[in-house]
Amino acid sequence: MKNAIASLFAHRANTLVACSAAVLLAACGGTDAGSSAAAQTAAKLAVANADKAAALVDAAATAAGAAPLSAASFNVDGYEKEVQAASAVSAALAQTQADSAAAGAAQADGGTKLLATLTSATPNATTTSTYHLYVATTGSDSNSGTQAAPFKTINKAASVAKAGTTVHVAAGTYNGNVSTKTSGTATARISYVSDTKWGAKIVGTGTEAMWTNNGNYVDISGFDIRGSGRLGILNYASNTLVSNNHIHNLTLSGGCTGDGGAGVVNATYGSTNGDMIGNVVHDIGTPGGCNGVQGLYSSNTGGKIMNNVVYRVSSFGIHLWHAASGTTIANNTVFANGSTGMGGGIVIGVGDSPGGVLLNNVKVLNNIVYNNPRGGIQQYCYSGATCIGTGNVVSNNLVYGSRTNVGMLKGSATGTISADPKFVSYNPAGTGDYRLQSASPAVNKGIASGAPATDILGVARPKGGAFDIGAYESF
């Protein structure tokens, strides 16, 4: 394994980066006014019988000549608070018409069918914003940044944001790289939010980061990020949240360098608590192309990596190194990363700068790690080094389809399931449906301790008698 990872660590002093890939599921078709009456009828049945309601909505869309809403994109159980009347379903159908062009463009970009949820992207912040700024492609940076007079660029909004600000970004394509530097506080975070999930599309240029963040207590939520560089979101700060983003098709135009690459990376090992939650990350470089290109990578102490879907990353889907103790990796779905010669699903270890660190209190729980050719879940240290400390837990993961499913240097994995996860449909290119069939061995086999209270779609866990394993709470 040392040879497969070695080039990852030839890096600049302060940055070792990683890349990841993920997928949302089930294309959401458009509709027109011809389906309105049937959709309203379906809504009346929604709360009482989700399956019948979804089927009726599908029939209505089909009758109108549109693609049906799949069960994955119309999950009444998961959104029962939002879908309790005919108006909610009608609004959801109307929204698919508005979003269909954007979803189609994203599918063309990443080869992925995107799941259109019934909710807009909102930050998982614990504080209420005091100030609000607005950005739209139709705006101007000479404007005041109000809803009526929005800025044109996120960079302009970032330059005037202060603690307690939410920056609302309207749907549209924003060409150019983003830089956010101002910090919030523990009680007044700064949030950058795409008001339509994945509607605000950041298309970066150059060989480096598409979005660089240096601000503490910052949230980045709901964006679609792609570009020519080696990094999607490069975070140098502490107490950050990167959530609900679609980060994909980074082309590594600068080549396969010792500096590596990443879908999302916490790059400063002196920082703490960089959370990565509910992101879909995929096609970061080419699987097997670069040892140093990862999916989700963290050098920080602390932090939560939860409910992400990561696939078709060049090397590892999720990677911990440098000072990444105290991190929880839970309920992710990680597949088709790396090759037979490099990378794998999840690797945890510490090494290089700052030195003298042991991997302590890292929890790897409830993850589906499937069809990663070389390795599933592995602890790793440099040859001859001792880097695995105490308090580490690897429990209740489904790991299957790798040359080595689980490799532990210290301690033992518990509750591991070695079996096909039985997704609704599996496609390694990301066009499958990665929810679970009712007969899946991952249904109700997770543990609650340390796991997220909701899934990637916001569905409360557990739906059944116990947590499901993976990013989706299916039963």
pLDDT digits 0-9 by tens, 403-453: 999 999 999 999 999 999 999 999 999 999 999 999 999 999 999 999 999
- Name the fold adopted by 2-24+120-436: Pectate Lyase C-like (2.160.20)
User: How high is the pLDDT of residue 266?
Assistant: 98
pLDDT surpassing 80 at residue 29: no
pLDDT at 8 over 90: no
pLDDT digits (tens, 9 = 90+) for 340-394: 999 999 999 999 999 999 999 999 999 999 999 999 999 999 999 999 999 999 9
Listed residue (394, 398, 395) closest to 434, CA to CA: 398
Domain-by-domain residue ranges, the chain?
Answer: 2-24+120-436, 33-110
Q: Give the confidence band of 5 by pLDDT, cuts at 50, 70, 90.
A: very low
Q: How far is CA 348 from CA 126, 344, 402, in A?
A: 29, 11, 17
Q: Give the tens place of pLDDT for each residue, 163-205.
A: 999 999 999 999 999 999 999 999 999 999 999 999 999 999 9
CB distance 233 to 211 below 8 Å: yes
SS3 content of the chain, % helix, strand, coil (to 5): 15, 30, 55
Rounded distance, CA 354 to CA 271, Å?
12
